[in-house]
Structures are given as C-alpha cells and as structure tokens.
Amino acid sequence: MSAFVEPLRLVLLAETPQWSELLRERLGAVGGPLPLSCAANWPDARRLLDAADDAVLLTTPAHLPDSRRCNAPIILLLEHEPADTPPQVCDWLVRDQLSADVLRRSLRYVREQGRLRLTLQRLAEQDALTGIANRQGFHTLLAARLDEPDRHGLALIQLDLDNFRQANDALGDCAGDQLIKQVVARLQQYLERGDQMARLGGDEFALLLHRHDDLERLHARVQHLLEALGEPYWVDGESLLLGCSLGVALAKPASTADALMWHAHIAMQQAKSRQGCTYHLYDERLDHGMRSQVDLQRELRRALRKGELQLHYQPRLCLRSGTVVGLEALVRWQHEAHGLLLPGEFVPLAEECGLIVPLGYWVIDRAMRDMQWLRERGQPPLHMAINLSFRQFQDSQLLPTLERLIDSCGVDSHWLEFELTETAVMRRSDYVLQTMRRLGHLGVRFSLDDFGTGFSSFEHLSNLPIALLKIDRSFVTGMETRPQSQQLVQAMISLAHNLDLQVVAEGVENWEQLQLLREFGCDQVQGYLISKAMPLAELARFLSAGIRQPLSGGRL
Ligand code: C2E
Ligand code: MG
Ligand code: MG
C-alpha cells in the first residue's frame, strides 16, 4: 500500500501512555508526514486541533468530547471491538488488532470523511449568493465566540435594508442580487481583523465586532458604517439610495447566542420605527423578563387587559389661522416595572407577532372616546389622526370593527384620520387601495406619514385617496442651516400641492424652521415647538389656554 502523501495532524488524548507508544510505532510504518501530538486534557487537544486545517482526534471513550465541541473527525481507541459507537465517532481502532495497514486505511477514511463533512457544513452554513455565512453558520460561529474567554467586548449588529424589497420589485431579482453584493462589499471594507459578518436573510445582515468595551468608539464605528451604507448604489447604470436600520447589542458574561441575537433584533426594530439610516443600542430596560417574543407577547396581552396602555396627544397647528386643527394619537405603555415605554420599544414587536391588531383597536377606541370627552367639554372639533400599521390593514375585520366602534362612540367619522406610511401603502398596493376606498366610504380620511423616507412613486401617490402628506422629521431637523434640506422640503410641498394634498411638517422644534415652512407654503406644523405629546388632561388645559398667545410671542 502507498504511503500517505498529504500531511495530517494527529492529536492523541488518552489516559494511558501505551496508546502513544503503540501509535508512534505503527505510524513509522505507515509513512508520510503524520505528526502525533499528545494532549493532557480537552482544552489542550482543542488548541492543537484548531491550529491545523487537517487534524484528527484519537481518543478513548473516557475523553470523548461531544460533537458540538469538536469539529475534527474522531477515531475512538478501544480495548475490544464495540457493539455500538457514539454518532460523533468516525472510525474506531482496537488495540490488539492495530496493524500499520489498518491504521493507514483508517486515517485515509477519516480524512475523506472529514473533508466531506466540512464541505457539507460549508454548504449548509454559507450564503450561496455572497459566500459569507448564512443565519445557521452565523449562529454556530457566534455560539463559539461566546464560548471563548474574551467574549466580553463583543458587539453584535443586526442590519436591515429598509427599502430593499421595493427596489428588488422595481428593478428585478438580478439587480437585487447585484445590490446585495454591493452591500456585502461595503460591509467587508468596514470589518477589522477578528470581526465577522453574515447574511441572515434576504436583506438582513449581522456583524460581530470584537473588543468594543469603549462605547464611544463603537458609536463612531456605527456612524461610519451608516454613512458608508447611505452612499448611492449603482445598478444597471442607475443610482439608488437604500435606507438601513441597525440594532446593536453588547455581549454580557452570561449571554447566549440566541439571547444576543434577539436583543440585536429588538434594537433593530426600534431603529426601524425611527426611519431613515439610524441605529439603536439595545436597551437594558426591556431585558428583565422579556427574553423572548413569547414573554413580550404575554406582557403586552397583560398590558391590554390591565389597562397599562395610554394615549398621548400631540397638537397640529394650522399656519394660516395659528390655531390647533388636529391631534395625533401616540400610544405609550406604562409598564409596571420599566416605566413609560415609547412606541418604538414595543410597536414593532407588536407588529411582528400580530398583537398590533388588538392594540390598534384599543387605540382607535380610546382616541374616539377622548374625542367625545373633549367635545363634551366644549372644545371645537379637531381632526384626530391615528397611526395604522400595514398589519392592521390586513385584518379582515378592520372595516366592520371600525364601523362598530364609530357607532358605539358616537363620533363624526369625518374628523377621523388614519396615518399610513409610504412603505405600508406601497406594499400590495392594489389591496391597500381597495381597503382605503372602503374605509373612505365611512367618511374617514388618510394621511401619508413619514413622507420622504420610503419608496413611493409619484404615479402611485396620485392614485391614492390621501388628503395630507406629512413630511418626515428627518428633513425638518436642521433644515434652517442646510440649504439642501430646504430645497427638498420646498419640492415636497409643491409636489403635495400639485396633487391637491395638504402638507404637515413633522418635528418642528424652533422658530427658524416654522418661519421657513411658512414661506414655503406649508399648511400645518407639528413638533416640540408647539408641544410634545401629552396626556388627555394636560391637552385639555393646553387647548383651553389657547395656542395663539404663546405663539404670538414669537413671530406667528
Ligand atoms: P410618527 O407617527 O411619525 O409620530 C411622530 C413621532 O415623532 C412621535 O414619536 C412624536 O413624539 C415625535 N415627535 C413629534 N414632534 C417632535 C419634535 O419636534 N422633535 C422630535 N425629536 N420628535 C418629535 P413617538 O410617540 O415615539 O412615536 C413614534 C412612532 O410610533 C410614530 O411615528 C408612529 O409611527 C408609531 N406609533 C405611535 N403610536 C402608534 C399607534 O397607536 N399605532 C401604530 N401602529 N403606530 C404608532
Ligand atoms: Mg404618525
Ligand atoms: Mg411621522
């Protein structure tokens, strides 16, 4: 039989020295570069195995590691022929039958087996399009990294491209693939030694950054990443912008791979609720007791049952009359342990598990009752804007439930307004259009929320029964010092007016912004300059005091 030509590192982990003597003697006859190292314990053996690409572990039943901990093929060393062998064992050798020939054949066999297993593992754990790890592969490597002594300082980033699906639908799968490859190339440039990345799904990625105890440095790196991903992409000669949302979670001493991925996911959802290219660091406050979606669902159900949800109202001001003409209902969760939670901390999760449907009905019901309450106290009628998620649109009971609620609260439905996001109306647009029309027959009107952050076509917009367009806060923030933002805002206002839509600017925080918006012909403003969202009682006082006085102190 021919000698071994390819090197194979053999690592022996056995309690008795007889095995090493016997193996060395037989290996001499097998020939080839087959260095044998002896390990005193499993950590030593693992280190030796990890140091070589082609390595085999030879061990006795007393030292056999479980399959999850050992990637190398295992040969079991036995005193007698076994009746059965554990599944992680590739081959076995019996001491008094161990000839050079048997050893040579066994080593060849396990080497081939090892390679085959590695290839299969790669295929199962690799993303076919980009060649980087897929979700399964990432989970394996994350678990291994968390097992290491220096796991402290690991930061996990989960990243989702906000409007990839729409771009893919618009440009075709082929262009979508090119886009994903470009994103991966940008991510690759951003990685430092020891960092890892994976594609978790269609447009979801994970990055594992090491040594990130320093939060400031982490913040700077994530900002840098957001900037890199925010640059235009070129596909088929067309330039394209992609928004992205990042969730960051830091490994703790007891973190498991599942928990860390869940935390990064929650943080990403929170970033997503803010729109635009943003990131969110996982908030410890949600850590206690909410380790999984199941826990969160249970907590939210309890919140609905026990009345822990509240509505705060933010006024909308008409720039022409200087009076409050509408309110936006914004949900809050008064959590018994974590205090007042903002929608970004639970609405995305409620959307994911479907609880947004009952939560949404609660919001509609509460808002209508509060409208009535204000009317009974002599307030003039105001438009009540309620945010609707796409998921709520998919509920077949939406129309009859709404009819019933309007009926039982006794409100005039003409004062009801539903805010939908661009992304929501672009999804399954024919279906959305049909539902909007049906709801429109009830008398309610619609506004397009967070305008400018999504991906909607002019043609589609002009076909939707929308009354108002709300310019996203991100365009208003800092516009007083940014001529480019001013041009954009001006263009959005004229676009809306061309479509016979009224325009509301969100996030107005200072007089300069208000003044510019007025010059541009904006119809309404909403933001901290007028007021933050407030509970009903406070709102009633605010409305009674009248908005004209405080604003006329400025230049209204
Ligand atoms: P949105 O509909 O765009 O609501 C505006 C958000 O901007 C609110 O945050 C509001 O408090 C904040 N905001 C208003 N003026 C200013 C300002 O001048 N400066 C700054 N920095 N922020 C301002 P909030 O209450 O955290 O709501 C976040 C999002 O959660 C909402 O964005 C909406 O998409 C969603 N949401 C809120 N309530 C509900 C609900 O009842 N149902 C559903 N489906 N979504 C909701
Ligand atoms: Mg809104
Ligand atoms: Mg908005």
Where does 2-125 sit in CATH, by number? 3.40.50.2300
Q: Which ligand is nearest to the CA of 326?
A: 2
Q: Which ligand is nearest to the CA of 527?
A: 1
> What is the 470 CA–ligand 3 centroid distance (Å)?
7
Least confident of 60-64, 170-174, 301-305, 548-552: 548-552
Rounded to whole angstroms, what are the CA distances from 334 to 165, 177, 306, 331?
35, 44, 11, 10
Q: What is the mean pLDDT of residues 166-180?
A: 85
Architecture of domain 310-544: Alpha-Beta Barrel (3.20)
pLDDT tens digits along 465-503:
999 999 988 889 889 998 888 988 998 899 899 889 999
pLDDT given at position 274:
66
Residues 6+ apart with CB under 8 A from 186: 228, 229, 231
Sign of CA dihedral 30, 35, 38, 44: negative
Q: Which atom of ligand 1 is nearest to the CA of 419?
A: 2
| Rounded Cα gap, residues 259 and 252, in angstroms | 10
Judged against a pLDDT cut of 90, whether residue 179 lies above it is answered with: yes
Q: Which atom of ligand 1 is nearest to the CA of 470?
A: 3
3-state DSSP of 25-94: HHHHHHCCCCCEEECCCHHHHHHHHHCCCCEEEEECHHHCCCCCCCCCCEEEEECCCCCCCCCCCCEEEE
Tell me the two tokens of residue 471. 């310019």
pLDDT given at position 167:
80
Q: Per CATH, which fold does 135-282 belong to?
A: Alpha-Beta Plaits (3.30.70)
Q: Which atom of ligand 1 is nearest to the CA of 533?
A: 11
Q: What is the mean pLDDT of residues 285-312?
A: 77
- High-pLDDT (> 90) share of the chain, %: 48
Cβ < 5 A residues, ion ligand 3: 449-450, 506
Least confident of 311-320, 344-353, 384-393, 502-511: 344-353
Pocket of ligand 1 (CB under 6 A): 273, 314, 330-331, 342-344, 347, 356, 360, 363, 387-389, 419, 449-450, 473, 506-509, 526-528, 533
* For the chain, domain boundaries: 2-125, 135-282, 310-544
Residue with CA at minimum distance from ligand 1 atom 23: 507
pLDDT tens digits along 114-151:
777 777 777 778 888 999 999 988 998 899 888 887 77
> What is the 457 CA–ligand 2 centroid distance (Å)?
20
Judged against a pLDDT cut of 90, whether residue 441 lies above it is answered with: yes
> What is the 326 CA–ligand 3 centroid distance (Å)?
14
Q: What's 547's DSSP letter?
A: S
Judged against a pLDDT cut of 90, whether residue 254 lies above it is answered with: no
pLDDT given at position 170:
77
Judged against a pLDDT cut of 90, whether residue 211 lies above it is answered with: no
Judged against a pLDDT cut of 50, whether residue 161 lies above it is answered with: yes
pLDDT bucket at 549, cuts 50 / 70 / 90: very low
- Paired with 38 in beta bridges are 12
Q: What is the mean pLDDT of residues 32-42?
A: 88
| Rounded Cα gap, residues 51 and 159, in angstroms | 32
pLDDT bucket at 292, cuts 50 / 70 / 90: low
Mean pLDDT of the chain: 87
Q: What is the mean pLDDT of residues 352-360?
A: 87
Q: Which ligand is nearest to the CA of 273?
A: 1
pLDDT given at position 286:
54
Most ligand 1 atoms within 8 A of CB, residue of 330, 332, 352, 395 to mutate: 330
CA neighbor of 2 nearest in space, from 105, 109, 106, 110:
105
Cβ < 5 A residues, ion ligand 2: 387, 419, 449
CA neighbor of 21 nearest in space, from 78, 95, 111:
95
Judged against a pLDDT cut of 90, whether residue 215 lies above it is answered with: no
